[in-house]
A and B are shown apart, each in its own frame.
Chain A
């Protein structure tokens, strides 16, 4: 039997955990037992530090009459009955919008164990507040390479120029000594050979630049716009292993991969309201990004108050205006479901290593040559000898027969119309 009057909020927690430890003969084992119980029974609705479906449990014993574990037990065993004559828990129902499920199988010892676990977790949190190691930022070496190559070519160019000058001087000297009189050398800008050479170089280089610029019109390779929220695909799809189709489920069913609506973000972010565990995030210019502040931006759009999670009304959410990165001109038809469902193409084949990108950029140029090239090289998954799998291509009887008889070893996309104009332009 534990009877302990609250002395002060902080002191009580400390005292009581000591008290529980000594009186009920609780050892360290029991915090472990408490953890097991907490995880299996309480954790679905309660967190030690965060308000979720139910209140945060840290500092539990400082509230209401919970320092008396018998009161706590009565509440846990039968919340509905306890609430009848108790204003505090009625208030809890009003603020959280629901009543706790009863756990009649919980005993007094279990309550002690769970409280011991909560106190231990709280103490641990206080002790280990600041042990975060910043990850090493990798330097981008490609731009450095360009600089080095540029300098080398410049130096070589200057050396070549000097050597040419030396050469002509030496020639002049040898001519002088041998007594050969040559006409006064023409300055290089009047030399017809030089002018011809320069114009050819100019024509070739200029033509190349013009052609390249014209071809590059409407191509957006490396396009990396700033998004309204710093959303890291690396954190979500990479580290946390969320399937691409969780958010972009439409890619399986429709032409568009679709951008998830705010409620899809909130499926997880109703509970995850801080960014703590992942690596540090940086913008392209090296500025550090505060992940928690970015989540707060999401809450602005969603109209969600993390201090009052049960009061959220999803219908008040406003859409986030993400900037579309991968654009095809209107005269091109592209269908996601056709590629990933029938064609079994991985997202990364066209979008690159999305799971390693913080801010997404377009890695392929999405040009027609790029499409056609893939259609020429990619094998179609025909499944010609099995009943399971993709039956989409069962109408290509001739190919199936040719494969069976050994005339063909594989069917490429081009064989089933992958190069026909009207497949994509109509």
Chain B
């Protein structure tokens, strides 16, 4: 009788222990919750309760705000006039403040997925047939070679056609670095012919710099 009881108990116990499977859906408890959970406002804390407490909170900065260390804001709005006038804007970064290695890193992370690591418009997302729109061939398309850095910057900032805005992912400086990188790669790819064309389209110092940079390497 005792044996039966013992066997049943141990069987029940083992079943209970084994059945504790499946994904864990609860984060669990904390010791000393006042040390574990921040009383201060943390990233991604809810801001909904703040206004009820009489705290004035705005989630977006005032329009035209320039962050400390950030470059001056881009002057044109996201409309056809802005797009047309964007060609006038020159890359404010001089060749000393451009880190081309960093620009390449940024390009590969943010742009390469569609426009391809070789800038040929054949990134993994498009090549595998997942993305339905053909990304621009940044080094082969005459339209892209003729496009000025200012217009590229405009498209990066506000998005163009299927491409979305990258202003939330890349700072102003990073966006200018990427346009400089694209121009540099275009100059490399097309040799000496392209820089003349870009210089004619927009006599930006950036285009000249990239033309000089190409033979150096």
Whether the Cβ atoms of A240 and B162 lie closer than 8 Å is: no
Interface window among A61-69, A110-118, A167-175, A268-276:
A268-276
Whether the Cβ atoms of B35 and A157 lie closer than 8 Å is: no
Whether the Cβ atoms of B14 and A150 lie closer than 8 Å is: yes
Contact flag A249-B169 (CB < 8 Å), given A43-B134, A217-B29, A241-B113: yes
Q: In the complex, which of the residues A44, A161, A226, A314 contacts B136, with contact meaning CB atoms closer than 8 Å?
A: A44
Q: In the complex, which of the residues B31, B44, B129 contacts A259, with contact meaning CB atoms closer than 8 Å?
A: B44
Interface window among A17-25, A194-202, A323-331, A396-404:
A323-331
Whether the Cβ atoms of A217 and B110 lie closer than 8 Å is: no
Q: Is A345 an interface residue (CB 8 A)?
A: no
Q: Is B133 an interface residue (CB 8 A)?
A: yes
Of the candidates A225, A259, A314, A330, the one having the most CB atoms from chain B within 10 angstroms of its own CB is: A330
Q: Is A219 an interface residue (CB 8 A)?
A: yes
Q: Is B55 an interface residue (CB 8 A)?
A: no
Chain B residue with minimal CB distance to A225? B25
Chain B residue with minimal CB distance to A314? B165
Q: In the complex, which of the residues B14, B38, B43, B113 contacts A242, with contact meaning CB atoms closer than 8 Å?
A: B113
Contact flag A240-B110 (CB < 8 Å), given A50-B132, A53-B133, A271-B162: no
Query: Distance in Å from the Cβ of A228 to the closest Cβ of chain B?
Result: 14
Q: Is A264 an interface residue (CB 8 A)?
A: yes
Q: B193: which A residues are within 8 A, CB to CB?
A: none
Query: Distance in Å from the Cβ of B153 to the closest Cβ of chain A?
Result: 17
Chain B residue with minimal CB distance to A215? B31
> Size class of B's contact patch?
35 or more
Interface of B is mostly: loop
Q: A330: which B residues are within 8 A, CB to CB?
A: 35-38
Whether the Cβ atoms of A224 and B25 lie closer than 8 Å is: yes
Q: A256: which B residues are within 8 A, CB to CB?
A: 43
* Contact flags A186-214 to B (C-beta < 8 A → 1, else 0): 00000000000000000000000000001
Q: Is B100 an interface residue (CB 8 A)?
A: no
Q: B51: which A residues are within 8 A, CB to CB?
A: none
Query: Distance in Å from the Cβ of A210 to the closest Cβ of chain B?
Result: 13
Whether the Cβ atoms of B30 and A240 lie closer than 8 Å is: no
Q: A267: which B residues are within 8 A, CB to CB?
A: 163-164, 166
Q: Is B87 an interface residue (CB 8 A)?
A: no
Interface window among B16-24, B89-97, B184-192, B202-210:
B16-24
* Contact flags B1-45 to A (C-beta < 8 A → 1, else 0): 001001100110010011001111111111100011110000110
Interface of A is mostly: loop
Question: Of residues 257 to 293 in A, which have CB atoms within 8 Å of B's CB atoms?
Answer: 258-259, 261, 263-264, 266-268, 270-272, 277-278, 284-285
Whether the Cβ atoms of A154 and B131 lie closer than 8 Å is: no
Question: Of residues 89 to 143 in B, which have CB atoms within 8 Å of A's CB atoms?
Answer: 108-110, 112-113, 124-125, 128-137, 141
Pick 26 A–B contacts, CB within 8 A, sort by A: A40-B134, A44-B162, A47-B132, A52-B133, A214-B31, A217-B30, A219-B28, A220-B24, A223-B27, A223-B28, A224-B24, A226-B25, A240-B125, A243-B108, A243-B109, A249-B109, A249-B169, A256-B43, A264-B164, A264-B168, A266-B164, A270-B164, A272-B130, A285-B22, A314-B164, A330-B37
Seed contacts A161-B6, A245-B109; 19 additional CB < 8 Å A-B pairs: A52-B161, A218-B28, A219-B28, A223-B28, A241-B124, A243-B109, A261-B168, A263-B164, A267-B163, A268-B125, A271-B131, A271-B162, A272-B130, A277-B129, A329-B37, A330-B35, A330-B36, A331-B35, A331-B36
Residues of A within 8 A of B (CB): 39-40, 43-45, 47, 49-50, 52-53, 143, 146-147, 150-151, 153-154, 157-158, 161, 214, 216-220, 222-226, 239-243, 245-246, 249, 255-256, 258-259, 261, 263-264, 266-268, 270-272, 277-278, 284-285, 314, 324, 327, 329-331, 359, 361
